[in-house]
Chains A and B, each alone.
Chain A
């Protein structure tokens, strides 16, 4: 399934460039070239679309089959809709619990990240005070370090605070590791906001705090939405941090961790249909959310790279 081999030739390998300076010949040549490229392009695009869609679709189909059917006819539609696979995954394999844990953790940590991140970014972007630059660079430097460098000491920091195997610990750690990007991005955003509105608010006797929550936050909404989406998706997909921080509390596990664990055990219990159902439970909500917020998600995730 190496994507390289499934691709038709790249543009460099395309046949004749018969674009001669001659008027009629040039026109015709270019037109056929356009058609050829467009056709080849369509094939390539369609093939990639199939490569993306088929594994997911195949998982959905398999989630309704039983184990014999998965082995004997992996490519057919399921003989009947076995919703008991889902019931088994949701209750017996604890996917319901894991899902709820993920929702709780990500809701708290994203809210905390956005609140604390925008507070810090706002102050750093719009107030002059001693140490401003130093604190800003302290935050931004966090972007350069791999999380794995900190893994061992982080484990002991959390342990010593008594927060190991708790959601509080995971939420605080998620917030702390999301701050560098959030502060970096939002500080740039707050700097671009016009100061005339803020000054007008000040003259009307608005306090700094009120100015932030009632004037600046609403003005920064597009930026907040972009970073918010970035953080939600990043924190929802976290695997290594919960693996280290929640290892001994199975009832607190998040979805990624839980599904990975089920896949290890599915081999022993031979409950493949349950695993497919669990996978579907993890993927389907993302498809729904993505279908609704597709545009915002694309711009949110690429916002970090564009500037």
Chain B
């Protein structure tokens, strides 16, 4: 294996590493640098130290966005994981047990296929789809029904305290199927004898779920929480397409990605936008570190 190794290694690595350094590493490094300047794209950037970050502290939109990330960070994983766990338990161990083999309820395969489908669609497409669903007059899917029944239309995306939850509902709608499949894979690897032993001891389904399935699925749950947390820090496509004027009404649904995009590519405040990017980076990092720390637990060997 010796001769001609280095030319081969270099030949194989050169293009991918160059591409990666130019388009990924260099921009990340520059972002930190630009965040310390007042660069607006025309003249040479001027060093302003931490001025951008100080201005962030007084920026109401920035704080609104941070607050929304907080809501998303709690609501999105909690709701999605709760629904997905419930469904995957039903689909995998909810049915009869025959010959010691646990089975899901009737039609499990069909449900899994249907539930997963939204995951295949682009978020931007889903956002347009739900713009139609949420329309405030009789042409909307939900309000069409409500108004036929004689109710007043619900202004899902216009009422400030409803808009963010309408968006979270769409994110949950898309994510549940993915986590049903993920948890199903985790449940399938739990040996049937454990359930059998628990049932012999007289455990009910509810006990089975909380005492057997949940602890043995802990690692998968942790992964799910991290994934959904990362999704909660993005949410650009859905917010910019679905919400009224990009994060509205009046900033009621804005997220950091939206503010970065607006500051950079609408107002040309490149330095300020980069400072927000740096803030976003540290928020994400804190979240990941906290999650790993808080959810650390002896994993159960089986």
Q: Report if A219 contacts B (CB, 8 A).
A: no
B139 touches A71 (CB 8 A): yes
B129 touching A56, Cβ below 8 Å: yes
On whether the beta carbons of B86 and A142 are closer than 8 Å, the reply is no
Q: Which of B94-142 contact A (CB under 8 A)?
A: 94-96, 105-107, 110-125, 127-134, 137-142
Q: Is the CB of A247 within 8 A of B205?
A: no
Q: Which chain A residues (245-268) contact chain B, with CB distance < 8 Å?
A: 247, 255-257, 259-260, 262-263
Question: Are A42 and B117 touching (Cβ within 8 A)?
Answer: no
Stretch in A79-87, A143-151, A220-228 with 4+ CB within 8 Å of B: A143-151
Say whether B178 contacts A302, CB under 8 Å. yes
- Indicate if the CB atoms of B144 and A154 lie closer than 8 Å: no
A-B contact count (CB 8 A): 306
Whether A145 pairs with B281 at a CB distance below 8 angstroms is yes
A282 at the interface (CB under 8 A from B): yes
A282–B125 CB distance below 8 A: yes
Residue of B nearest to A174 (CB): B23
Chain B at the A interface: SS class:
helix
Q: Do A148 and B13 form a contact, CB below 8 Å, given A142-B20, A260-B241?
A: no
Please name the residue on chain B nearest to A35 by beta carbon. B96
- Offer 26 A-B interface pairs, CB within 8 angstroms, sorted by A: A3-B169, A30-B204, A45-B87, A45-B90, A48-B87, A56-B129, A62-B132, A70-B139, A123-B8, A124-B13, A127-B5, A127-B9, A148-B256, A148-B280, A150-B27, A151-B260, A153-B27, A157-B22, A158-B23, A238-B122, A239-B237, A259-B124, A260-B240, A275-B128, A275-B132, A305-B182
Residues of B within 8 A of A (CB): 1, 4-6, 8-9, 11-13, 15-17, 19-20, 22-28, 30-31, 34, 79, 82-83, 86-87, 89-91, 94-96, 105-107, 110-125, 127-134, 137-142, 144-145, 148, 156, 165-166, 169, 172-173, 176-178, 181-182, 185, 202, 204-207, 209-210, 220, 223-224, 227, 233-234, 236-237, 240-241, 256-257, 260-261, 264-265, 270, 273-274, 277-278, 280-281, 284-285, 288
